[in-house]
Chain A
Amino acid sequence: MIALDDVSKRYPNGTYALQDVDLRVAPGEFVFLVGSSGAGKSTLIRLLIREELTTTGRVVVDHDDVAKLRGGGIPRLRRKVGVVFQDFKLLPTRTVAENVAFALLVTGRGGRAAREETDRVLALVGLDHRRDHFPRELSGGEQQRTSIARALVNRPRILIADEPTGNLDPVTSWEIIKLLVRVNELGTTLVIATHNADIVNALRRRVVALDHGRIVRDEREGMYAA
């Protein structure tokens, strides 16, 4: 599903954000990406959604070499890869349902089918009762669930979460993680970049650790620290 072959990313000032990274993620896998700030987690995620290109090496996402995508290829890639961020990135002037439906609207879908899809994901994340509220009326956990619903509404093959619990208290963090586990069980490949050691240690999933741009550890049922 995801393949990074000998990937390096060097910034113009000469520092390496990633160096000689080889990574394979199979369909349906659940992967934690851990490492200190600046280890390269966010860069790796930006490469996967083609926010950035590699300096050397190849990134393949769902059979597409992302560097070779042209024109409409990039939007199509991003519809296959849902992304969730620490800061939710919700539109404050739109309701929960509108925020979710926005992802359908701007990719050319609307009407009844769009409403049904929106209802489906809102039910999945448990927010049907909050659908007409604005983001400022929601708790942090509810805002993050809205952003997960938006990421899922295009039925992506892969869901990437960059510090999804970074702004949330421990209890809410657990709710979000349980939701993400459920999404993974429904068949979506999941990559979560996180600093949350408790969660990583409790779930015992695959852990890929980055340090100074290199993969230093890749364990099947890993812990946050070696």
Chain B
Amino acid sequence: MRRLGYLFTAAWQGFLRNLVMSAASSVTVALMLVLLTFFAIAERGLEQAVRLFESKVEVALYLEDSARPSEILALKSRIEADPVVSRVAFVTKDEALQRLRAGGQVAVVDLDANPLPASLEVKLAQAQEAPRLTERLRREVGAGVVKELVDNPAVVDDLLTVTRLLSAGGLAVLAMMLFVTLFVIVNTIRIAVYARRDEIEIMRLVGASDRLIRWPFILEGMLVGVAGALVALGVIAALAPTVSGAVAAFAGIVPLDFGGVFAAQLAGGVLGLALLVGAGGAGLSVRSHLRA
């Protein structure tokens, strides 16, 4: 108990003794965490956008009027056999016309004949696989059943590229930030070790355990981390309404949902990472600057 008291007091004193350096380290931690949060939110938003588009991704095969029902059914079951396909719907000529009328965008005057073709609407389970499927289906065009193929996965493709770039870029930036943060913490703790070298020498001479000598520094590192996390969470909380408003306005069609669970996970992650980085940096520093 008393040893715990000593640990926390020593860590706190260490933090205050070198306040400028401690604060600088905390700000570095905060910067890293704000960046991390930004990437996490951006990824979350894009992921939702992708999912939304994915659910709408479809390939439409417009059929020849002359195609026989048996041929159409055979084609349908062949497409359904592909694992990336979630559903294939047959839309007759009549249904197509009804949809057009129901849409109300075009004034459909009485038509003697129905100019719309029947079609097969193919829904995909995985958007990434769309190009391969369309490639395959395109071969059906002109073979007597399929007149024309229309697909819209290009949007999803672009979105996926952006997501991947952002993930990779974000990871690289975060890795660099993590490295810098660790380096700064290692240095901060090294200075703390140096500032307390007399005390450490005496502790060793009178028989203090290694743990008691090391843990104040580990705790000090964690303190730096937590201070950084609090700053980061404060910044994020302050910016959240503005940013989410802007994102919502930009995304518009995408129903963004960063529910309470996500916010809690994010805050927990930020705090956890801060503690980990603080303790890790301090541990590294103590290992190399404190002879047992």
Contacts and interface: CB of A to CB of B under 8 A. Distances in A.
B206 A89 contact: no
A89 B199 CA distance: 9
A105 B199 contact: no
A14 interface: no
Interface in B42-64: none
A78 B201 CA distance: 12
A89 B2 contact: no
Interface in A22-46: none
A206 interface: no
Contact of A91 (B3, B199, B212): B199
B46 to A, nearest CB: 51
Given A105-B2, A106-B6, A110-B2, A89 B210 contact: no
Given A91-B199, A111-B2, A106 B205 contact: no
Nearest to A72: B209
B2 to A, nearest CB: 4
B186 to A, nearest CB: 25
A77 B207 contact: yes
Interface in A103-136: 103, 105-111
Interface residues of B, number: 17
A148 B206 CA distance: 12
Given A75-B210, A78-B207, A89 B6 contact: no
Given A150-B206, A154-B207, A108 B198 contact: no
Nearest to B199: A91
Interface residues of A, number: 25
Interface string B209-224: 1101000000000000
A224 interface: no
B16 to A, nearest CB: 13
Nearest to B205: A83
A89 B207 contact: no
B13 to A, nearest CB: 9
A3 interface: no
A102 B207 contact: no
Contact of B205 (A76, A80, A89): A89
A79 interface: yes
B205 A78 contact: yes
B251 interface: no
Interface of A: 49, 71-72, 75-80, 82-83, 89, 91, 102-103, 105-111, 150-151, 154
